[in-house]
């Protein structure tokens, strides 16, 4: 979700106005995904690198998380949405950690959309924490690990790999998001700034996804007859 600051700047507003508006768009898109039957929605809210921003902006963003958790969890729960936060929580204050725990606990048994918020997340951080935990659990396997040994320790072990990756705001980079899981995802980049993202912009992304041929290394001919219905399950 990129482009909040530029959206605000274009309107001669402080950057935080863009973040506020961004939260409203998150709300709309969660609703949209739940309605469409998307099974997993994962949002990159705050990267490990975002701490480098001015202290004021970081504090504001932390405050926004806290507010959003407090105010939205009830609604998520009513709508059968399960909320999970991934990322390194060690830099969050105790109150925020408690709020996250409570939100996850409240919605843990919900069976609808799985909404994952990546906060203080980085793909390399995730790989390293997974490798360290895997090695601790299997000291006898040093140097003989396989992909399937690692995947249970990745933050998103509970979800399939994303079908569709969307980045707003014009940059065409992964920026240390789900590095392992995006290996075969369809990448979609749009100039639309996150606060302007809406139903129409999302439909365009889905349409683009539906026109792609996902070969996973196979040839086009091999796929004939085994295409699914092109419906993204994890965006």
126 binds ligand IPE per the rule CB under 6 A = no
User: For residue 131, which of 142, 140, 120 has the smallest C-alpha distance?
Assistant: 142
Phi, psi of 143 (to 5 degrees): 80, 0
- Residue 1 in the binding site for ligand IPE (CB under 6 A): yes
Which of 46/209 has CB closer to ligand IPE?
Answer: 46
CA distance 103 to 227: 37
Start-to-end CA distance of the chain, whole Å, equals 12
User: What is the contact mask toward Mg ion in residues 1 to 30, using x (rule: CB under 5 A)?
Assistant: -x----------------------------
Kindly report the backbone phi and psi dihedral angles of residue 157, in degrees, each rounded to the nearest multiple of 5, phi listed first.
-55, -20
Please say if 132 is a catalytic residue. no
What DSSP character marks residue 5?
Answer: H
Task: Assess whether 50 carries a catalytic annotation.
Answer: yes
* Alpha-carbon torsion (183, 188, 192, 194), positive or negative: negative
Answer for the pair 8, 15: CB distance below 8 angstroms, yes or no. yes
When asked if residue 50 is in the footprint of ligand IPE (CB under 6 A), the reply is yes
Select from 139, 169, 183, 203 the one that contacts ligand IPE (CB under 6 A): 169
Cα–Cα distances in Å, from 185 out to 88, 113, 163, 190, 211? 24, 19, 5, 16, 14
Is residue 61 involved in binding ligand IPE (CB under 6 A)?
yes
Q: Is 123 in the site for ligand IPE (CB under 6 A)?
A: no
CB nearer Mg ion, residue 175 or residue 210: 175
Q: Is 186 in the site for ligand IPE (CB under 6 A)?
A: no
**Taking the complex as a whole, how short is the minimal distance between the CB of residue 64 and ligand IPE, in angstroms?**
9
Alpha-carbon distance 116 to 233, whole Å? Answer: 14
**Tokens 């700034």 appear where?**
193
Q: Is 176 in the site for ligand IPE (CB under 6 A)?
A: no
Q: Which is nearer to ligand IPE, 50 or 79 (CB)?
A: 50
* Residue 44 or 209 with smaller CB distance to ligand IPE: 44
Q: Report in angstroms how near the CB of residue 135 gets to ligand IPE at its nearest.
A: 32
The residues binding ligand IPE (CB under 6 A) are: 1-6, 46, 50, 61, 169
Applying CB under 5 A, the residues found at the interface with Mg ion are: 2
């Amino acid at each position: 979700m990129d482009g909040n600051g530029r959206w605000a700047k274009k309107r001669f507003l402080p950057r935080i106005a863009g973040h506020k508006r961004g939260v409203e768009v998150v709300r709309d898109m969660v609703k949209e995904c739940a309605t469409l039957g998307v099974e997993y929605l994962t949002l990159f809210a705050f990267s490990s690198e975002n701490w480098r921003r001015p202290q004021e902006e970081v504090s504001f963003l932390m405050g926004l998380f806290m507010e959003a958790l407090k105010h939205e969890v009830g609604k998520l729960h009513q709508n059968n949405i399960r909320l999970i936060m991934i990322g390194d929580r060690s830099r969050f204050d105790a109150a925020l950690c408690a709020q996250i725990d409570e939100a996850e606990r409240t919605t843990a048994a919900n069976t609808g959309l799985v909404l994952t918020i990546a906060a203080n997340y980085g793909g390399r951080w995730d790989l390293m924490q997974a490798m360290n935990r895997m090695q601790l659990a299997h000291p006898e396997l040093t140097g003989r690990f396989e992909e399937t040994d690692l995947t249970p320790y990745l933050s998103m072990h509970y979800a399939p790999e994303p079908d569709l990756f969307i980045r707003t705001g014009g940059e065409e980079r992964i920026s240390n998001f789900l590095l392992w899981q995006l290996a075969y995802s369809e990448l979609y980049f749009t100039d639309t700034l996150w606060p302007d993202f809406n139903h129409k912009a999302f439909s365009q992304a889905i349409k683009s996804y539906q026109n792609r041929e996902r070969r996973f290394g196979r040839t086009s001919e091999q796929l004939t007859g085994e295409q699914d219905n092109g419906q993204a399950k994890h965006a």
